Amino acid sequence: MIKWCWFLLNFIFLFSCRTISKPVSSREYAVELLNQRKYAEASNIFKQILSQDPDQQNDTKILLASAYIGEAGLDIVAAFSALKPFIFDTNKNTRLAIKNIEGKNVNDPDFIKNYFLNYLEIVTEIVRLTQAFPNIALDNRPKIIEALLLVESVKIDNPYFLRARGLSLMLNFSQTLSYLREVFPTLDHEQMPTFANIICSFEPLIFLGNLEDLLKYSRRSVEDYLFIQESKGKNISKNLDSLNAATEKFNVIIDANRDAVVKTDVVLNNTKKYFCE
Amino acid sequence: MWLIFYNQDAASELLNHIITPTDGTSGIQSQGMCPSIYETNHRLICLMDNYNIANDVSVQVDINIKANENDFVEINRFYSKKTDQSHLENLFKENSFLQTTGHITVKTIYRKTEIALVPAYLVGGLKISNPVLPTLNISAVRGSLFRISHYFIFRKWLAAHYGELVLAPRIWYSNQESINGDVDLVGTAGKSLISQLEKENNKKIDGSVAIGIESKHSYYPSVNLKIENLAQEKKCIECEQRFIDVEKHFQMRANASIYVSVTHAIGKSIFGTNLPFWGPYTEFDKDKQSINYIYSLSKLNSFLSYSPLMYSFGFTFSGESITIGIQYSDEKQANQFSINRMKQTYVSTSYNL
């Protein structure tokens, strides 16, 4: 009798065991899809999770941003490898100098021309140093912007904030480079460019059209970088700072010449023609 | 169908199916129900801890490992500082979840007293997730341990007609080094990966106590109760915030096992269940409750074990001076580590010198 009771007890226990294994949650399933690089499927599930509780799930925001980045085809690992010597390794930073251009009159075409040449020297160095940074196709920019909005919404008092800020730096910098590279439509990105390649492929109208976005993303890159490195007690990235400062200064010059008789784009075009022809 | 929503940020998950430094071959094969098996003329007895009883002085070397050599090498790299970001990227391409566990024990036994040295034990898990922003979560513990155990058997007590009352205290000194980390590619920028991991050294004296009633009769249940890591009552708050945790295994935990021993015309068997708890029987761990069947014929023991997270089959063969054990399992970790079940092999050897 005792033995039958004992066996019965254990069979009941066996069946109770079967029912208590944890089901896979939607979040776990979406992470698995993300790991399998099925970005579109993963992002759909992450979006549903966030729609339930948009304020709480900061790590889910980073995962959804990752899915968007994956969909946009930006290889963050390759981007990070390319970016690291450019901005993170402060010992190897080479300061790209903004020259003290003669003549302080920002409306003077000669001043604009000289500053433009100095700017392109800096840009040449930037393009050379970031040649390995992957390019984002124009069609994929909206996904990157969606990813940026998500990482920017991660709360500052959250343990995931630093991770979000790091991702934000990568995205803002990739946008900066994307808008910058667009200015040189005929440049062969497979070859290491020279100053002559840069100036001859420069398109003034695209540059002036992109300047606002270029500035926006380079400013944000600098802010992100400073936040991350301050939290780690490191120095400023001289290369990143140079690009931003030079673009800021160019913007001031262009602003000051909006109503000028000699338009900036004409000066830039003439300078380009002078050097290339 | 999948949408069972989480309302909080990622929480800690315990690495399951590990070998702690106090686990022996039978304990691993029976998912903790039968830490070691003692055979009398009439029946099999589950000893409450990984003990041996010897009439003469004997020296024994035990090796118990989960046989996934690659995972062992990879997790050990984090101790030997031979890893970096590019290594992580390569790891991610191959496997996103690695685990390792095992120990070596040298012990000398005289009658019911055992002195043991565990020169090395390692328990670790590593998960790399998100190919877009590779994020490493690692938790590993390794150390060494010196232990003294004794087994008291009371044959004259109130219920002596039913069985023997057994009391088994043990005390140990351990030197343990743990590494934990939750780092991503961007978080490690400008710093070495190893420097981002938290490391901690912990030297402590700890112990366990077990009490049991070993029935003298076939089909009458025997009951064992054990509390381990008695000095570690304090809750580890950091452990609960980690993605992977292994240190909880070294916090206070308890066990209750009930089994019946049966003698057949050919061979003997044990059928029983093990109920594990965290703390001093305060929090029942339903994922690890198991039922087990052990069949012994001469020098061969075979094991069948079932728990919600692990099904396993294994056997041990005892020769003159060597015992070999192999266990095949189909096991499940937390869903955060791996949604799919995994096939694993555990290998044990024991040499009598």
- Asked if B10 lies within 8 A of A234 by C-beta distance, the reply is no
Distance between CA atoms of B18 and B43, rounded to whole angstroms? 29
- Asked if A21 lies within 8 A of B287 by C-beta distance, the reply is yes
Model confidence at B241, pLDDT cuts 50, 70, 90, reads: confident
SS3 A208: helix
Q: Does B322 touch chain A (CB under 8 A)?
A: no
Model confidence at B259, pLDDT cuts 50, 70, 90, reads: very high
Which of these, B202, B201, B200, B259, lies nearest to B229 by C-alpha position? Answer: B202
Q: What is the pLDDT of residues B182-222, one digit of tens each?
A: 887 776 666 677 777 888 898 999 999 999 998 888 888 99
Q: In the A/B pair of chains, how many CB contacts fall below 8 A?
A: 137
- Asked if B291 lies within 8 A of A17 by C-beta distance, the reply is yes
Q: What is the pLDDT of residues A119-171, one digit of tens each?
A: 888 888 888 888 888 888 888 889 999 999 998 888 777 777 888 888 898 89
Which of these, B99, B24, B140, B171, lies nearest to B344 by C-alpha position? Answer: B99
Measured in angstroms, the CA of A56 and the nearest CA of chain B are apart by 7
Chain B residue closest to A24 (CA)?
B335
pLDDT at B274: 93
Q: Does B134 touch chain A (CB under 8 A)?
A: yes
Chain A residue closest to B4 (CA)?
A25
- Asked if A29 lies within 8 A of B129 by C-beta distance, the reply is no
Q: Which of B3, B219, B273 is opposite residue A2, by nearest beta carbon?
A: B219
- Asked if A29 lies within 8 A of B185 by C-beta distance, the reply is no
Phi, psi of A28 (to 5 degrees): -65, -40
pLDDT of B154 > 50? The answer is yes
- Mean pLDDT is lowest, of A147-156, A225-234, B252-261, B267-276, for A225-234
Which of these, B135, B286, B1, B295, lies nearest to A166 by C-alpha position? Answer: B135
Contacts of A36 (CB under 8 A, 6+ apart): none
pLDDT at B24: 86
Q: How would you label A251-263 residue by residue, b for 16+ Cβ within 10 Å and e otherwise?
A: eebbeebeebeeb
> What is the ipTM, given to two decimal places?
0.76
Looking up tokens 């070999």 gives B324
SS3 B42: coil
Measured in angstroms, the CA of A46 and the nearest CA of chain B are apart by 10
Chain B residue closest to A38 (CA)?
B131
Chain A residues lying within 8 Å of B334, measured CB to CB: 22
Chain B residues lying within 8 Å of A57, measured CB to CB: 6, 8-9
CB contact at 8 A, B84 and B193: yes
Identify residue B350 by its one-letter amino acid code.
Answer: S
Contacts of B95 (CB under 8 A, 6+ apart): none
pLDDT average, residue stretch B160-165: 87
Q: Which of B5, B129, B219 is opposite residue A6, by nearest beta carbon?
A: B219
pLDDT average, residue stretch A56-61: 80
Q: Does B193 touch chain A (CB under 8 A)?
A: no
Q: What is the pLDDT of residues B61-74, one digit of tens each?
A: 999 998 887 788 88
Which of these, B59, B57, B38, lies nearest to B47 by C-alpha position? Answer: B38
Q: Does B309 touch chain A (CB under 8 A)?
A: yes
- Asked if B271 lies within 8 A of A7 by C-beta distance, the reply is yes
Cα angle value B315/B319/B321 (rounded, 5°): 125
- pLDDT, chain B, mean: 85
Q: What is the pLDDT of residues B269-283, one digit of tens each?
A: 999 999 999 988 888
Chain A residues lying within 8 Å of B190, measured CB to CB: 84, 88-90, 229, 232, 234
pLDDT at B2: 31
Distance between CA atoms of B89 and B94, rounded to whole angstroms? 9
Which of these, A43, A48, A47, lies nearest to A66 by C-alpha position? Answer: A43
pLDDT of A42 > 90? The answer is yes
Distance between CA atoms of A225 and A235, rounded to whole angstroms? 10
Contacts of B65 (CB under 8 A, 6+ apart): B19, B72, B101, B102, B103, B346, B347, B348
CB contact at 8 A, B271 and B293: yes
- Asked if A24 lies within 8 A of B129 by C-beta distance, the reply is no
SS3 A75: coil
Distance between CA atoms of A124 and A130, rounded to whole angstroms? 10
pLDDT at A103: 57
Chain B residue closest to A84 (CA)?
B189
Which of these, B60, B86, B8, B13, lies nearest to B239 by C-alpha position? Answer: B13
Q: Which of B131, B187, B308 is opposite residue A21, by nearest beta carbon?
A: B308
CB contact at 8 A, B272 and B292: yes
CB contact at 8 A, B227 and B254: yes
Chain B residues lying within 8 Å of A134, measured CB to CB: none
Q: Does B220 touch chain A (CB under 8 A)?
A: yes
Phi, psi of B224 (to 5 degrees): -125, 140
SS3 A219: helix
Q: How would you label B305-339 residue by residue, b for 16+ Cβ within 10 Å and e otherwise?
A: bbbbbbbbebbbebeeeebebbbebebbbbbbbbe
- Asked if A31 lies within 8 A of B307 by C-beta distance, the reply is no
Chain B residues lying within 8 Å of A93, measured CB to CB: none
Counting every residue written for chain B, the total comes to 353
- Asked if A80 lies within 8 A of B186 by C-beta distance, the reply is yes
CB contact at 8 A, B126 and B75: yes
Phi, psi of B322 (to 5 degrees): -135, 140
pLDDT of A55 > 70? The answer is no
CB contact at 8 A, B126 and B99: yes
pLDDT of B1 > 50? The answer is no
Looking up tokens 């402590």 gives B204
Distance between CA atoms of B20 and B64, rounded to whole angstroms? 10
Query: Which class for A113: exposed (0-12), middle (13-18), buried (19 or more C-beta within 10 A)?
Result: middle
Measured in angstroms, the CA of B50 and the nearest CA of chain A are apart by 25
Distance between CA atoms of A154 and A59, rounded to whole angstroms? 8
- Asked if B335 lies within 8 A of A21 by C-beta distance, the reply is no
Structure tokens at B144: 């060494």
